[in-house]
Amino acid sequence: MSDTPQASQQSSSTEPMITQRDMLGAMEVLAGAGTEPEVLITLTDEELRGLDGASALALLGSPYLDQDQVDADSASASALRSLTARGLVRPGGESVEEEGELVSGSGDPSARPVQLDRRLAGVVTLRRIPEGMITTTRALNGGSTTLAHYLFPRRGVLEEYVTVDGFHHFSVPEVDEVAERIRKFTDPFGVAGEDGEPTTTTRAEAVTGPEAADARALSVITSVAEGEGRQATVVATSDRVRVIDDGAVGPQRSPQDQVQVSDVSPESLRSAIDLLVPRSPEEEPSGDEGTGGPGA
């Protein structure tokens, strides 16, 4: 962890300090779920780093801070000052709400150097504690973007969309909308047509063949829950969408591994993605297909 206000309070423990107030903020955020949710809050790379340390950007990346000309420490300090000026971060002595008891971590909640706006505290907390997660990284000519979904009990979802210039847009879709939102993200030009017969080929051939050379968007979907993960690659060309089933995530992959490749219709693409969305047994899809999703 870097020595930011939020990070410093948990440096003595590997488990982050989470208070009852943090969890109340998290529950309030999830309670706002909708089928076509608006953006709840937008944070920059440097704001997230200032709030929660450098490790907060390890998973989804920090496109802006990764630039050679940007000093991450200075940018994060300036971002934290800006959040304070906007009233989203208050010095600890100016806290207006009790933090309550500890839910996890160690230390004295009343000694926190800062107090976050409760909605902001909820978003930061939810990023720390998902029970499952599905991330989709998409490469286009204009650069790489990431759409992430954090999954929680009782059908809770937090969505984070990371733009090429390091803005993190948070929203709260219904869990049944997740597969459709990822479908639109992986097929930004709407070229999915008809289903094709599945074929088997090597991993190397699947990503270097003629169709791959015509790729307009290439997306890698990674699903992780309970320490296990699966991965799929979606290739959108000028006239079709192809799904490569990469199988389980692990260190033993080889370019010569056999993988299944299928051209897919929009419906089959959504169904394939839906199978990757982590759910507990009592949270299986309701059967109603969603229609919302982030724009291309």
| Number of Cβ atoms within 10 Å of the Cβ of 6 | 24
> Each residue of 68-123: pLDDT tens digit?
999 999 999 999 999 999 999 998 777 678 999 999 999 998 888 899 999 999 99
What are the two backbone dihedrals, phi and then psi, of residue 62, each rounded to the nearest 5 degrees? -140, 80
Contact 49, 6 (CB under 8 A): no
Contact 185, 171 (CB under 8 A): no
Tokens of 45: 């790379």
pLDDT band with cut points at 50, 70 and 90 for residue 289: very low
> Is 199 in a helix, a strand, or coil?
strand
Q: Are strands 156-162 and 143-152 parallel, antiparallel or unpaired?
A: antiparallel
Give the whole-angstrom CA distance, residue 268 versus residue 254.
27
Residue 248 CB burial class (10 angstroms; 0-12, 13-18, ≥19): exposed
Is-above-0.85 flag for pTM? Answer: yes
Residue 293 pLDDT more than 50? Answer: no
Give domain limits for the chain. Answer: 5-128, 171-283
Residues making up the chain, counted from first to last: 296
Mean pLDDT to the nearest integer, 212-239: 93
- DSSP symbol at 239: S
How far, in Å, are 113, 210, 219 from residue 248 at the CA level? 42, 26, 17
Give the whole-angstrom CA distance, residue 217 versus residue 187.
7
pLDDT score of 7: 46
Mean pLDDT to the nearest integer, 188-204: 94
